[in-house]
Amino acid sequence: MKTNQSIISLAKQTISTESAAIANLINFVDEAFENAVKLIHNSNGRVIITGIGKSAIVAQKIVATMNSTGTPAIFMHAADAIHGDLGNIQNDDTVVCISNSGNTPEIKVLVPLMKNYGNNIVAITGNPNSFLGQEANFVLNSHVDKEACPNNLAPTSSTTAQMVIGDALAVCLLELNDFGSKDFAKYHPGGSLGKKLYLRVSDLVANNEKPEVSPSSPIKDVLMEISKKRLGATAVLENNEIVGIITDGDIRRMLNTTVDFSNLAAHDIMSLNPKTIDINSMAVDTLETMESNNISQILVKDNGVYAGVVHLHDLIKEGIF
């Protein structure tokens, strides 16, 4: 039975082995890599990424990365390709074929067929002298000296290397395509990363009540407004201008220092010069303002006019926080 120490040691060795393998990939980035990136970038077609076994799983990850960063890509399993899925490939498509050995039977059948169709082939292989390496238009070397597997058998370092090469391709294409934060948001509208890039204060405040009182409003009315609108605060308006804010914290401080508040009004406990944010501001900027000022609510203005309240909980609900 393995001891805790031996488990920790083996885990560290695995990470160390894979780290060394990845670091060594820098030595393989050459003119062939540059030409492969230019080929894909200048193509009018898509990127078809194929592989077998663990390489097929890596191919699916690279496809997902490319699609999310502006490079249209499709996954095609190498085994399924020779049983009908070759119909996915169009004339202008570039095929990226992933195989550590470069000599699997499926690859040997598939590659000549794709070449007959006239498609360019980019190989990601750990063996540039393999069948795949010799037949491809461009070879991206993903060689590793050894797998992290103690038996040097299970694909570990090699699949990690393939994935890193794929990431490098995707990032280079991203840069060449001038793929910016707005594009990223367009392709990730449902995730928290996308929301940080496109969600605005207007999207948040539209779903909230609009609590407000006047400076002369009795404390009872203030309490009822805060409770009714469920945002933990209310704006204090005079002649439609924001003159203050009253929060749950202001109410608690009043209760700690005042026995009889029946004669108090909003102007007696409100905080002056409250922080505000424009309705067209990004939601993530609202979070930064709240954090820097240590507040949980912020008043919103639309062309200088009070438009409502955004609470920290709104940002948490949307995954911004």
Q: Is the residue at 145 inside a domain?
A: yes
User: Among candidates 139, 141, 101, 103, which has minimal Cα distance to 122?
Assistant: 139
**Pairing relation of β-strands 233-238 and 212-213?**
parallel
Q: Is the residue at 26 inside a domain?
A: yes
Sequence-distant (≥ 6) Cβ neighbours of residue 281 within 8 angstroms: 200, 201
Q: Any idea what the Cα angle at residue 246 is, between residues 245 and 248, rounded to 5°?
A: 140
List the structure tokens of 57.
């799983």
Q: Is the residue at 272 inside a domain?
A: yes
> Using CB atoms within 10 A of its CB, is residue 230 exposed (0-12), middle (13-18) or buried (19+)?
exposed
Hey, what long-range contacts does 301-308 have (CB within 8 A, 24 or more apart)? Answer: 301/242, 301/276, 301/277, 302/278, 305/240, 306/210, 306/212, 306/235, 306/237, 306/240, 306/241, 306/242, 307/205, 307/210, 307/279, 308/205, 308/208, 308/209, 308/210
Residue found under tokens 């933990």: 232
Which of 179, 209, 232 is the last residue before a domain boundary? 179
pLDDT in tens, the chain (321 residues): 567 779 999 999 999 999 999 999 999 999 999 999 999 999 999 999 999 999 999 999 999 999 989 899 999 999 998 888 888 899 999 999 999 999 999 999 999 998 888 999 999 999 999 999 999 999 999 999 999 998 988 999 999 999 999 999 999 999 999 887 667 666 666 665 666 667 889 999 988 999 999 999 999 999 999 999 999 999 999 999 999 999 999 999 998 888 788 889 999 999 999 999 999 998 888 889 999 999 999 999 999 999 999 999 988 888 776
Q: Render pLDDT for 288-306 as a digit per residue (tens, 0 to 9).
A: 999 999 999 999 999 999 9
Q: Render pLDDT for 206-225 as a digit per residue (tens, 0 to 9).
A: 889 999 999 999 999 999 99
Q: Domain holding 175: CATH number?
A: 3.40.50.10490
Domain match, 125 and 254 both = no
Domain match, 52 and 147 both = yes
pTM: 0.68
Domain match, 116 and 218 both = no
Domain match, 175 and 233 both = no
- Helices of type H across the chain: 4-24, 31-42, 54-68, 78-81, 105-116, 131-135, 157-176, 181-187, 192-198, 201-205, 219-229, 248-257, 266-269, 283-293, 312-317
- Residue 271 main-chain phi, psi, to 5 deg: -90, 130
Q: Is the residue at 49 inside a domain?
A: yes
The pLDDT of residue 109 = 92
Which of 126, 144, 179 is the last residue before a domain boundary? 179
Q: Is the residue at 96 inside a domain?
A: yes
Q: Is the residue at 192 inside a domain?
A: no
Q: Domain holding 280: CATH number?
A: 3.10.580.10
Domain match, 133 and 29 both = yes
Domain match, 227 and 310 both = yes
Residue 233 CB neighbour total at 10 angstroms: 24
The pLDDT of residue 2 = 66
User: Among candidates 235, 183, 231, which has minimal Cα distance to 204?
Assistant: 231
The pLDDT of residue 315 = 87
Domain match, 101 and 221 both = no
Helical axes 31-42 vs 157-176, angle rounded to 10°: 50
Domain match, 207 and 157 both = no
Domain match, 233 and 154 both = no
Q: Is the residue at 44 inside a domain?
A: yes
Domain containing 295 equals: 198-317
Contact at 8 Å (CB) between 125 and 102? Answer: yes
Domain match, 101 and 203 both = no
Domain match, 274 and 208 both = yes
Hey, which residues does 218 pair with through a beta bridge? 265
Q: Is the residue at 188 inside a domain?
A: no
Number of domains in the chain: 2
Q: Any idea what the Cα angle at residue 152 is, between residues 147 and 158, rounded to 5°?
A: 25
Domain match, 174 and 206 both = no
Which of 179, 208, 223 is the last residue before a domain boundary? 179
The pLDDT of residue 283 = 87
